[in-house]
Amino acid sequence: MKLFGVLGNPVAHSLSPAMMNAAFTAEGISAVYVPFRVEPEDLTDALRGLKALGAVGVNVTIPHKLGAFAWVSERTEEAELVQAVNVVRFTSSGAVGHNTDVSGWWRSVEHAMPQEPLRVVVLGAGGSVQAILAALSIHRAGIDVGIAARRAEAVLQLDKQFGHRLHLRHVAWADRHQAVADANAVIQCTPLGMWPNADTSPIDDPTVFSPGQLVQDIVYRPLETTFLRMAKEAGATVVDGASMLIWQGVDAYEWWLSQKAPAQVMADAVYSALNKERGAQ
């Protein structure tokens, strides 16, 4: 039986075991995917132990993405771009680190991406923004991206990382509503609207949204945030945060096993789990 897992802390809330085990069952693969709660100081021992046990690979989530980046012996272009690893594949000579948050985000929005000229605004400048900027730098190099953030220093750091591929500009937090109104692709990357504070939103004026816009919220608890609901009611094309989770999982599965993933099965497992959570609240 093949062994896979996810390393994080906390990790009990992870939807990856449900998603991956559903995929293995659907494809008739003798494999199991297990959540492992690992403290930061134990990450190296955990990775070495899993490799010694013959694990095929693992996902890595908060707070271990930087630690895994440092530990692996080889890294993909995506991992190098974001300087973080969210998936590891063990090899006979070491371990390869990859980042499917990059490709996963792109696959979640590619079908709805507006035509050129693309005018992107990202709300927030936290760690999740790096994967989005990396994907844009690969697929839409040279475009202008506004980043609405309270701290200009955070945007300056992102510009150092991605400024050679994208034209990044800081949008003052007070100016975010106008920036959203002027954009045709809006990506929400702050924790605002996440359960249990589901009534909060980084945008409080629904008139900034319009038909033809792509609007995504990377928050997926709840699935439909206040932010997404406002955009949807205004006629925008909305993409929920679970889609990014699903597609990064699809890409991890395919990277580990070199075979097509049952994407619909994986999506059904994630949405089923989220709907059960909602029913229990």
The verdict on whether residue 231 carries a ligand-binding annotation is no
15 in a labelled binding site: yes
Q: Does 241 appear as a known binding residue?
A: yes
Query: How would you classify the pairing of strands 167-172 and 185-188?
Result: unpaired
281 is in an annotated binding site: no
| Helical segments of the chain, H only | 16-27, 43-52, 65-71, 77-82, 100-109, 128-139, 152-162, 176-182, 226-233, 242-257, 263-280
Is 128 annotated to bind a ligand? Reply is yes
Q: Considering 2, 51, 65, 160, which one is annotated as catalytic?
A: 65
Whether residue 14 is annotated as binding a ligand: the answer is yes
Burial class (CB in 10 A: 0-12, 13-18, 19+), 215: buried
User: Whose structure tokens read 């975010």?
Assistant: 176
Q: Is 185 annotated as a binding residue?
A: no
d(CA 114, CA 184): 7
44 assigned to a ligand binding site: no
Q: Find out whether 272 is annotated in a ligand binding site.
A: no
From the CA atom positions of the chain, what is the Rg in Å?
19
In this structure, the strands spanning 185-188 and 57-60 are unpaired
**Which is it for strands 87-90 and 95-98: parallel, antiparallel or unpaired?**
antiparallel
Return d(Cα 211, Cα 209) in angstroms, integer. 7
Please tell me whether 61 is known to bind a ligand.
Answer: yes
Annotated binding-site residue? 99: no
Contact 77, 106 (CB under 8 A): no
The span from the CA of 106 to the CA of 133, in Å, is 10
73 labeled part of a ligand binding site: no
Residue 276 annotated as catalytic:
no
- Residues annotated catalytic, as ranges: 65
User: Binding site for shikimate, residues?
Assistant: 14-16, 61, 86, 101, 220, 248
User: Binding site for NADP(+), residues?
Assistant: 77, 124-128, 218, 241
User: Binding site, residues?
Assistant: 14-16, 61, 77, 86, 101, 124-128, 218, 220, 241, 248
